[in-house]
Structure 1
Amino acid sequence: MPLLDMPLDQLQTYTGINPRPADFDEYWERALAEMRAVDPQIEMVPSDFQTPTAECFDLYFTGVRGARIHVKYARPRNSSGPHPAVVQFHGYTGHAGDWYERLAFVSLGFSVFAMDCRGQGGSSEDAGGVKGNTHHGHIIRGLDAGADHLLFRHIFLDTAQLAGIAIDMPEVDGERVYAYGGSQGGALTLACAALEPRIRKAAALYPFLSDYRRVWEMDLAKDAYTELRTYFRFFDPQHQREDEIFTTLGYIDIQHLANRIRGEVVMAVGLMDTVCPPSTQFAAYNKIQSAKRLEIYPDFGHEGLPAFSDKVVQFFLQD
C-alpha cells in the first residue's frame, strides 16, 4: 500500500517528538484546581425540540475564566432508574450538531451531553476579551500571553467539568459515563478521560491536537493545523522562538495527557490521513496505559470510517 507516514511497524512504537514541558503535571493539577473552584451555575432550559422518547434541554454551565458553556442534553423520557451517559465532542470550528444526532444513544437508554466548544460554531462563549465566537486560531490563542492563557487549556477543562456534571446527575449512573468524538472531538475525548479519571470508556476517532512538531516537520501545517504556519510567518518568521513555541504547545498536546487515562479506550486511525497524520495519533495511543484497542483503516483518510460508529455503540453497550 502507499505510505503517507511511517511504516506500520514504526507507527506502533512511535512516541512523538513534540517537547513535554518539565512542569507539565503541575500545570494540569493547577488548572484542575482552578476548574474545581468555579461555581458552575448550571441552568437547564427545556428545548423546543422534544420527542416521545427523548427529553431535551439546553444546559449551560460556567467554565474557567467565566465563559458560559452550552450543551445539548438529551435523556430518555420515563427512564426507570440511573442509566449510562455519553459526553460528546465535535470537530474543529464546528458545533454540537442537531438534536437528531443524539437520539440513537437515547433510544438505547443513554443520556447524551453534546458540548459546544467555546468560541467555535455553537453557542458557547469565548470570554477572552469578547463574547460569542472567535472561530479560528484556537491552537495559538493565548500562546503569547503564557501557558495559563492557552484557549485549549480552557476547552480541555470544559470537557472535564462537563463530565463531572454528567456523573453527578441523579438520573445518570456515575459508574457508566463514556466520552466520544472525532478529530478535535477525538482529542477532547482523550483529554476528558485524562482529566476526569472517572470516565469509564472513551472512543476517539482520528484525534487532533497531538505532536505539533511532527505535524510541522511533515509539512502538514495546513487544513486544521494551518494556524501553526500562519503564526510562524507572522510572529516568528526566522524561527528564533521555535523551541519555546513547541514547548508551550506541549501543555495542550494530548499525547502528554494520554498516560493519565484510566478508562478503557477504543481509537480509530486512517493511515492515509493528511489532516491529522497517523504518527501524531499513534504518539497519543502508544502512551495510553489503560486497556485499549486500535482500529486501523489502511486506505482511509480524515473521513467516515466504515462501521466504526457501530463498533463504538457495541463498546459502550458491553458494560
Structure 2
Amino acid sequence: MALFDLPLHELRTYRTASVAPDDFDAFWAKTLEEARVHDLDARFEPVETGLKNVEVFDVTFAGFGGHPVKGWLTLPTGTTEPLPAVVEFVGYGGGRGLPHTHLLWASAGFAHLVMDTRGQGSGWSDGATPDPVGSGPAHPGFMTRGIEDPESYYYRRVFTDAVRAVEAARSHPLVDASRTAAVGGSQGGGITLAVGGLVPDLAAIAPDVPFLCDFPRATTMTDRDPYREVGRYLKAHRGRTEQVMRTLSYFDGAHFAARGRCPALFSVALEDQTCPPSTVFAAFNAWDHSDKEIAVYDFNDHEGGGPFQQAEQLRWLPARL
C-alpha cells in the first residue's frame, strides 16, 4: 500500500489526542507494589542446546500475581565478569521460541534475556507461560481480554511481567544492572515503551514499529489486526466506547513515553498498516529525553527495517551501555 497517513513533516510534530488518566502513575505504582509482594524467585537452569559460543539458561521468575513467567537467558561462553544486558520482548502471538533463534545480542557480547509473553506463543513461535487469569467477554486475540476495567486488562499483567523480567535479568550475577536496555518489535516495542516508562534507571530502550500506542487514532485508522479486535468488540458491545478507551488510556505507549528518562532508538515504517506511523510518532514525540532517534523506512509495511534496523541497534546501543 502507498502512503496513507500524515506526511512525514507533519508526523514529526504529531501529538496524540489521548489524555493520561489523573491516576495513571498511582495505578502503576500500586500495580508494581502488589507484584513485588511476591518473591521474584528468579531461577536460571542451564540447558544443553548444542551451541558452542553461548551458554543458555531456562529462566523462571514471578510476574504479575506471583505467576511463573518463562524466558531464556543467553550469555557468551566463558563469561566471568558482569556484562551489559539486553532484555527483549516479542511480537503479538509469539512466545520465547527456541534458544538458537535468539543469538544476536549474546553474539555481540551482551547478556540477553528474552521474556515469554503469558498466554501467547501459539501464533508464530511457541511459548511456555500460561495466563491463569480469566476475563469477561472478549474478542478472539488478546486486545480485549479484561478490557472492561484497567484492573482486569490483559496488558496490566504483561507490562508487570516485563518490569519483573528486567528485575530478573538484573538479579543474575553476570549482569551489570546499571547497564540494562530493553528492546522489542511491534507488541514487543509497545512493551518496551511501557518498561521505559516504569523502570526509571534503564540505560536505553529500542522499540521497533511499536504497537499499543495512541489507541484513539490506531483503533479507528486501521482495519488490520490486532487493533481491529477492539473495533469488532465494540461492534458487538454497543455503547462501551468511552469505557474501553478509558481502560486503554492506562496502557498507551504515548503516556509511558512521556515518563521515559533514558536514550531511545525508535523505528517506523511509513506504509505500516498494522501500527500506523502517526501512532509511532505519537510515542516518539512524547519520549522525554534529549538523546532519541527514529529510523524512518519510507516504503516498508510492518516488517519495518528488519535486519537493517538490527544493524542500527548494533551501532547505537553499545555507546549507551
Same fold (TM over 0.5): yes
Query: Contact 1:19/1:247 (CA < 8 Å) preserved in 2?
Result: no
Structure 2 distance, partners of 1:229, 1:6, is: 22
Query: What's 1:242 paired with?
Result: 241
Query: Contact 2:70/2:116 (CA < 8 Å) preserved in 1?
Result: yes
Amino acid corresponding to residue 276 of structure 2 in structure 1: P
Q: Tell me the alpha carbon deviations over residues 3-53 of structure 1, each in whole angstroms, 9 at most, x when there is no partner.
A: 310111221111112342221111111112112222122222222314222
Superposition deviation, residue 61 in structure 1: 1.0
Superposition deviation, residue 208 in structure 1: 0.2
Query: What's 1:138 paired with?
Result: 142
Query: Contact 2:213/2:280 (CA < 8 Å) preserved in 1?
Result: yes
Query: What's 1:53 paired with?
Result: 53
Go from structure 1 to structure 2 and tell me whether the alpha carbon gap of 1:176 and 1:136 turns closer, same or farther (over 3 Å shift).
Answer: farther
Query: What's 1:126 paired with?
Result: 131
Amino acid corresponding to residue 312 of structure 1 in structure 2: Q
Stretches of structure 1 lacking an aligned partner (at least 5 in a row):
none
Structure 2 distance, partners of 1:176, 1:101, is: 24
Structure 1 distance, partners of 2:139, 2:241, is: 25
Q: Tell me the alpha carbon deviations over residues 114-144 of structure 1, each in whole angstroms, 9 at most, x when there is no partner.
A: 11100001111201049xxx99532211112
Structure 1 distance, partners of 2:280, 2:83, is: 32
Query: What's 2:13 paired with?
Result: 13
**Number of equivalenced pairs:** 311
Go from structure 1 to structure 2 and tell me whether the alpha carbon gap of 1:142 and 1:61 turns closer, same or farther (over 3 Å shift).
Answer: same
Query: What's 2:210 paired with?
Result: 207
Q: Tell me the alpha carbon deviations over residues 56-114 of structure 1, each in whole angstroms, 9 at most, x when there is no partner.
A: 11111121123211101111221131111110111101112332232232122211101
Query: Contact 1:18/1:247 (CA < 8 Å) preserved in 2?
Result: no
Amino acid corresponding to residue 132 of structure 2 in structure 1: A
Amino acid corresponding to residue 241 of structure 2 in structure 1: E
Stretches of structure 2 lacking an aligned partner (at least 5 in a row):
122-126
Go from structure 1 to structure 2 and tell me whether the alpha carbon gap of 1:47 and 1:308 turns closer, same or farther (over 3 Å shift).
Answer: same
The alignment status of 1:102 with 2:102, answered yes or no, reads yes
The alignment status of 1:226 with 2:228, answered yes or no, reads yes
Structure 2 distance, partners of 1:221, 1:180, is: 27
Q: Tell me the alpha carbon deviations over residues 144-174 of structure 1, each in whole angstroms, 9 at most, x when there is no partner.
A: 2x21111101111111111112123211111
Query: What's 1:259 paired with?
Result: 258
Query: What's 1:164 paired with?
Result: 167
Structure 1 distance, partners of 2:219, 2:227, is: 9
Superposition deviation, residue 253 in structure 1: 0.9
- Equivalent residue of 2:142, what SS? coil
Go from structure 1 to structure 2 and tell me whether the alpha carbon gap of 1:9 and 1:202 turns closer, same or farther (over 3 Å shift).
Answer: same
Structure 1 distance, partners of 2:107, 2:25, is: 39
Go from structure 1 to structure 2 and tell me whether the alpha carbon gap of 1:119 and 1:299 turns closer, same or farther (over 3 Å shift).
Answer: same
Query: What's 1:280 paired with?
Result: 279
Superposition deviation, residue 304 in structure 1: 4.4
Query: Contact 1:42/1:62 (CA < 8 Å) preserved in 2?
Result: yes
Query: Contact 1:141/1:150 (CA < 8 Å) preserved in 2?
Result: yes
Superposition deviation, residue 2 in structure 1: 4.8
- After the TM superposition, which segments of 4 or more aligned residues of structure 1 sit over 4 Å from their partners? none
- Equivalent residue of 1:16, what SS? coil
Query: What's 1:23 paired with?
Result: 23
Amino acid corresponding to residue 138 of structure 1 in structure 2: F
What's the Cα RMSD here? 2.0
